Amino acid sequence: MPSHDQTGPSGPPIDFKALFDSSPNPYVLLLPDFTIVGMNEAYLRVTMRTREDITGRNMFEAFPGEGASVEQLRASLERALRSGTPDHLALIHYDIPRSDGNGFEERFWSATHTPLLNAAGEVAYILQHTVDVTELHRLRMAARATYAPSGLEAQVEGDVFRRAQAVQEANRSLDAERRHLRRLFEQAPGFMAVLGGPEHRFELANATYSQLIGNRDVLGKPVREALPDVAGQGFFELLDNVYASGQPFVGRALRVSLRQGPDAAPEEHYVDLVYQPIIGADGSVTGIFVQGHDITERILAEQALQESERKFRILADAMPQMVWAARPDGYHDYYNARWYEFTGMRAGSTDGAEWNGMFHPDDQERAWKLWRHCLATGEPYQIEYRLRHRSGQYRWTLGRALPIRNEAGEIERWFGTCTDISEIKEVEADLQAANDEIQRFAYIVSHDLRAPLVNIMGFTSELEATRATIERYHKAIVERVPELATPEARVAVEEDLPEALSFIRTSTAKMDRLIGAILKLSREGRRVLTPEPVDMADLLAGCHRSLSQQLDGTGTEFIVEEAPDVVSDRVALEQIFGNLIDNAAKYLDPARPGRIVVRGQDAGVYVRYEIEDNGRGIDPKDYDRIFDLFRRAGAQDRPGEGIGLAHVRSLVRRLGGAISVSSRPGVGSTFTVLLPRTLHTASEAA
Amino acid sequence: MAQHQSVTIVMVEDDDGHARLIEKNIRRAGVCNEIRHFTSGTEALDHLFDPKVRDNGPLLVLLDLNLPDMSGVDILTKLKADERLRLAPVVVLTTTDDQREIQRCYDLGANVYITKPVEYETFSQAIRQLGLFLSVIKIPEAS
CA B23 and chain centroid, separation: 11
Domain made up of B2-136: CATH architecture: 3-Layer(aba) Sandwich (3.40)
pLDDT for residue B142 is more than 60:
no
Distance (Å) from the alpha carbon of A322 to chain B's nearest alpha carbon: 45
A513: contact with B, CB 8 A cutoff: no
| Nearest CA-CA partner of A114 in A130, A98, A100 | A130
Give the pLDDT of residue A238: 93
- Which residues from chain A sit within 8 angstroms of residue B15, using beta carbons? 451, 454-455
Give the pLDDT of residue B140: 60
Mutate to test the interface with A, among B39, B114, B120, B127 (most CBs of A within 10 A): B120
| Nearest CA-CA partner of A169 in A96, A235, A90, A277 | A90
pLDDT for residue A144 is more than 60:
no
pLDDT for residue A99 is more than 80:
no
Residue A181 has φ and ψ, to the nearest 5°, of -65, -40
CB-facing half-sphere around the CA of A440: CA atoms within 13 A: 6
Give the pLDDT of residue A10: 58
Give the pLDDT of residue A256: 92
| Nearest CA-CA partner of A563 in A535, A605, A595 | A535
| Nearest CA-CA partner of B25 in B35, B38, B12 | B35
- Name which residue leads in pLDDT, B23 or B120: B23
Q: What's chain B's Rg over C-alpha atoms?
A: 14
Give the pLDDT of residue A121: 81
Taking residues A83-101, what's their average pLDDT? 79
Give the pLDDT of residue A513: 82
Taking residues A369-384, what's their average pLDDT? 92
CA distances (Å), origin B74, targets A322, B47, B67, B83, B85: 52, 15, 10, 16, 14
- Name which residue leads in pLDDT, A419 or A21: A419
Query: Contact, B14 vs B44, CB < 8 A?
Result: no
Res. B130 pLDDT band, cuts 50 70 90: confident
CB-facing half-sphere around the CA of A98: CA atoms within 13 A: 7
Residue B134 has φ and ψ, to the nearest 5°, of -65, -30
- ipTM > 0.85? no
Closest CA in chain B for residue A522: B98
Res. B135 pLDDT band, cuts 50 70 90: low
End-to-end CA distance of chain A: give it in Å, rounded: 111
Give the pLDDT of residue A426: 85
Residue B55 has φ and ψ, to the nearest 5°, of -95, 0
Mapping DSSP to helix (H, G, I), strand (E, B) and coil, where does residue A478 land?
Answer: helix
Taking residues A582-610, what's their average pLDDT? 90
What CATH number should be reported for the domain whose range is A531-685?
A: 3.30.565.10
pLDDT for residue A25 is more than 70:
yes
Give the pLDDT of residue B26: 82
pLDDT for residue A373 is more than 60:
yes
Taking residues A496-503, what's their average pLDDT? 90
Query: Contact, A193 vs A185, CB < 8 A?
Result: no
Bridge partners of residue A293, in order along the sequence? A272
One-letter amino acid at A558 equals F
Strands (E) across A189-305 are located at 191-196, 201-205, 249-259, 266-279, 285-294
Distance CA A328, CA A76 (A): 64
- Name which residue leads in pLDDT, A388 or A179: A388
Do A453 and B121 lie within an 8 Å CB cutoff?
no
What CATH number should be reported for the domain whose range is A319-420?
A: 3.30.450.20
Asked, colleague to colleague, whether A188-300 and A531-685 share their fold, the answer is: no
User: For the purposes of burial, counting CB atoms within 10 Å of the CB of A324, is it exposed (0-12), middle (13-18) or buried (19 or more)?
Assistant: buried
Each residue's pLDDT tens digit, A37-88 = 888 888 888 888 888 888 999 988 888 877 777 888 888 898 888 888 888 8
| Nearest CA-CA partner of B15 in A501, A507, A447 | A447
Lowest mean pLDDT among A364-378, A569-583, B107-121: B107-121
Q: Positive or negative, the Cα torsion across A551, A658, A513, A615?
A: negative
Each residue's pLDDT tens digit, A441-455 = 877 777 778 888 888
Distance CA A322, CA B59 (A): 70
List helix spans (H) across A412-496.
Answer: 422-480, 487-491
Q: Which residue ranges make up each domain of chain B?
A: 2-136
Taking residues A474-479, what's their average pLDDT? 92
pLDDT for residue B1 is more than 90:
no
Give the pLDDT of residue A453: 86
Q: What is the dihedral of CA A422, A427, A429, A432, to 10 degrees?
A: -150
Distance (Å) from the alpha carbon of B51 to chain A's nearest alpha carbon: 33
Share of chain A above pLDDT 90, in %: 30
Taking residues A410-416, what's their average pLDDT? 91
Each residue's pLDDT tens digit, B32-83 = 888 999 999 999 999 999 998 888 878 889 999 888 888 889 999 999 999 8
Res. A11 pLDDT band, cuts 50 70 90: low
pLDDT for residue A160 is more than 70:
no
Each residue's pLDDT tens digit, A278-295 = 888 788 899 999 988 888
DSSP percent split of chain A into helix, strand, coil, nearest 5: 45, 25, 30
- Name which residue leads in pLDDT, A151 or A174: A174
Give the pLDDT of residue B4: 41
- Name which residue leads in pLDDT, A163 or A221: A221
For residue A594, count other CB atoms closer than 10 A to its CB.
21
What CATH number should be reported for the domain whose range is A16-171?
A: 3.30.450.20
| Nearest CA-CA partner of A303 in A338, A331, A268, A336 | A268
Average pLDDT of chain A? 84
Q: What's chain A's Rg over C-alpha atoms?
A: 55
Share of chain B above pLDDT 90, in %: 22
CA A169 and chain centroid, separation: 57
User: Which listed CATH number (3.40.50.720, 3.40.50.1220, 3.30.428.10, 3.30.450.20) goes with A188-300?
Assistant: 3.30.450.20
Element (H, E) at B44: helix B41-48
Bridge partners of residue A598, in order along the sequence? A560, A611
Share of chain A above pLDDT 70, in %: 92
B17: contact with A, CB 8 A cutoff: yes
One-letter amino acid at A9 equals P
Count Cβ–Cβ pairs < 8 Å, chain A vs chain B: 49
Each residue's pLDDT tens digit, A449-472 = 888 888 888 899 899 999 999 999
For residue A440, count other CB atoms closer than 10 A to its CB.
12
Do A523 and B98 lie within an 8 Å CB cutoff?
yes
Give the pLDDT of residue A207: 87
Q: Which residue ranges make up each domain of chain A?
A: 16-171, 188-300, 319-420, 426-526, 531-685
Taking residues A228-257, what's their average pLDDT? 91
- Which residues from chain A sit within 8 angstroms of residue B117, using beta carbons? 454
Res. A156 pLDDT band, cuts 50 70 90: low
Res. A147 pLDDT band, cuts 50 70 90: very low
pLDDT for residue A526 is more than 90:
no
- Which residues from chain B sit within 8 angstroms of residue A450, using beta carbons? 95, 116, 118
Distance CA A407, CA A403 (A): 13
Taking residues A154-169, what's their average pLDDT? 61
